[in-house]
Structure 1
């Protein structure tokens, strides 16, 4: 099994060989350790290297034959590294480290690195794939400038090796081509359907509004009730496997069902409800319920943790390659902390990585 440092060694190094004093793998290990400790800037990575020089040599095992690299050298290397190649190595490392079981729920969603925005350009937008059961990032890819998630999602799917997974995507990903790409990978999909697909949305909405008793009896149903903090939320799940009426059924790869979720909330004497609609390739109501309920873990677990615990949005590095590569390092740290099982919360692990050299070593390299 290859180590992270060995993966880092595979990165292309375009520096002039006669002027290279620091291995690219050692620079990335230093940056990884620094980011794991809460560092936010390239200058701080250089400061971390100076302060932790003995630990990096004696415990982590770096050679540092020419001392520690300066923050200028670290910055040049992080700007030089091709993020797509770095991302590919990240995915290979995850696939080696974790066996994502058949039938896993994989949630895809985007997040903008707000600190990377400037007056001249919008912030970097990354689309991530999150494995629900394992609780880790499987990979992410940057949306191209003047593009959006519709073009990035198929590219991300092509990078991932998935086994009969159920893939959920919010509204932006509800596209015929994306459904086709998911089906090519022999996976299933549950795609949120809204007004960006007006014809399909209105057809499915009208379909579920039929009040005929015989029709209602054909629907698969499931219900959940959550009560707490003076708030009651009832969710009613409906799934129909009758797709013959749908005019565009042959345009959606492996289409097998339509879903609806009705949420009714009672709080402080008031009540409101909403209905959400889905297009899917699954026929099992329990799988549909799990797919819908767990989709938001990518927002509530991954994106929340990156923002609140790893301060993702506060990082104001604006050099695009550098910002994206450090974002990849943060996600490596997130995964390593999630994979390191010691009974402590992610927040607690992050704090210990900041102050405890031994704990940081165990999280990153054990």
Structure 2
């Protein structure tokens, strides 16, 4: 990593508390919260307990003149803290730390924090939309939307925070919108968008053109690979077309459109007789000129946001079990979990999963300092 530290970027956030009431600095509360989440804390009481257990170590890095804040104070401050400013600081820090290179895949997708749903107050669950660098496996930024359907409105906001020139931005069918495609192009990147029923005319054009036997034609512009593992065999195939005339007039409705893609997967369970092939076919449009191999690799990279980020946040950091939802605290904690995820995932000195790394950070302050050094906080 290089450039300004996360601490430099967080320092511009204004303390939401009344100045005459402040006994603990915002910097100390943020440092404690980030360090505690890296150490496996999942709630306010956990963060306070972590502080008491590591007070001498905390004082090496912060003030903490008045000791550790009680959990109610931590919750109140995190609820009042501007989520928008925290997200901008996070994205700005990531731009300083990671130089994305031309052609890298940036996967954009949403995730619902299931236990943030508040039935009593009739508040829907928090839904965060994140941008994930598939090559480096780091979160580049995130924004909140209260409803999954609102991904359409917040994806441009997220893209505005990012430096993605020369990259290939992949988005599932929810983001297959002309305005989003234009926003990606305006940022100097290319788009690769999945096509489904929310664009019925586009999907119908693909359906009218495509036949399964195209995957077997020798003159087709295609590519395939086969993988065997976990008791099954999977064949992945891709076709690309640069002749956009199959779309009819739709060809001119999508900005800078250059490539149409069809990606299929055939799964066979090795322990069961083959009665009927399990075939999945997906359609894509892109502003980049992609070969069949590049198309297949890019679409696979997109799903790394599910397996390498969302799944690990749930299994390793128990994000779906988190009931924090007070004011802006839920989305602020989601951003801090992403900071912790990036720091833990970037540390290569200890070859282990997220949960095991968290446990080591909690009991070993030397290792915790090492992980924090990746954030520029230690």
Give the TM bin, normalised by the shorter chain.
over 0.9
Tell me the distance in 2 between the aligned counterparts of 1:115 and 1:170: 24
Quote the Cα distance in structure 2 between the aligned partners of 1:360 and 1:223.
Answer: 44
Which of 14, 26, 31 is the aligned partner of 1:12? 14
TM-score normalised by length of structure 1: 0.94
Query: Counterpart of 2:23?
Result: 21
* Structure 1 spans left out of the alignment, 5+ residues: none
Deviation at 1:147, TM superposition (A): 5.1
1:357 aligns with 2:365: yes
5+ long unaligned stretches in structure 2: none
Secondary structure of the equivalent of 2:281?
A: strand
CA-CA distance at 1:8 after TM superposition:
2.4
2: CA distance between counterparts of 1:339 and 1:230?
A: 32
1:8/1:24 contact within 8 Å kept? no
- Provide the rounded CA distance (Å) in 1 between the counterparts of 2:189 and 2:255: 11
CA displacement 1:9-58 (0-9 Å, x = unmatched): 21112322111111111110001111111111112212221221111113
The structural deviation recorded for 1:365 is 2.4
Matched-pair contact (CA < 8 Å) for 2:214–2:220: no
Residue 342 (structure 1) aligned to one of 342, 345, 349: 349
Kindly tell me: are residues 249 and 210 of structure 1, through their superposed partners in 2, closer, same or farther at Cα, counting changes over 3 Å?
A: farther
Normalising to structure 2: TM-score of the pair? 0.91
Moved more, 355-364 or 5-14: 5-14
SS in 1 for 2:57: helix
Further displaced range: 67-76 or 130-139: 67-76
Give the aligned partner of residue 67 of structure 1. 67
Question: Which residue number in structure 2 is paired with residue 329 of structure 1?
Answer: 336
Q: Distance in 1 between matches of 2:221 and 2:192?
A: 16
Q: How does 1:1-366 map to 2 (within 5 A)?
A: 1-58=3-60, 61-119=61-119, 120-144=122-146, 148-209=150-211, 219-246=220-247, 247-267=249-269, 268-270=272-274, 271-285=277-291, 286-347=293-354, 348-366=356-374
Is the partner of 1:244 in helix, strand or coil? Answer: helix
The 3 A distance-change label for structure 1 pair 67 and 92 is: same
Alignment root-mean-square deviation, CA: 2.0
**Secondary structure in 2 aligned to 1:310?**
coil
Q: Give the conservation status (yes or no) of the 8 Å contact 2:125–2:146.
A: no
How far, CA to CA, are the matches of 2:148 and 2:259 in structure 1?
34
Change (3 A) 1:210 1:355: closer
SS in 2 for 1:191: strand
Task: Say which SS state the counterpart of residue 12 (structure 2) adopts.
Answer: coil
Residues 104, 131 of structure 1: 8 Å contact kept? yes
Contact 1:46 1:69 in 2 (8 A): yes
Shift of 1:219: 3.8
Q: Partners of 1:343 and 1:22 in 2: how far apart?
A: 34
Matches of 2:148 and 2:106, distance apart in 1? 26
Question: For residues 222-274 of structure 1, what are the alpha-carbon distances to aligned partners after superposition, in whole Å with 9 as ceiling and x for unaligned?
Answer: 00101123311111100000013421111111111211112112211123212
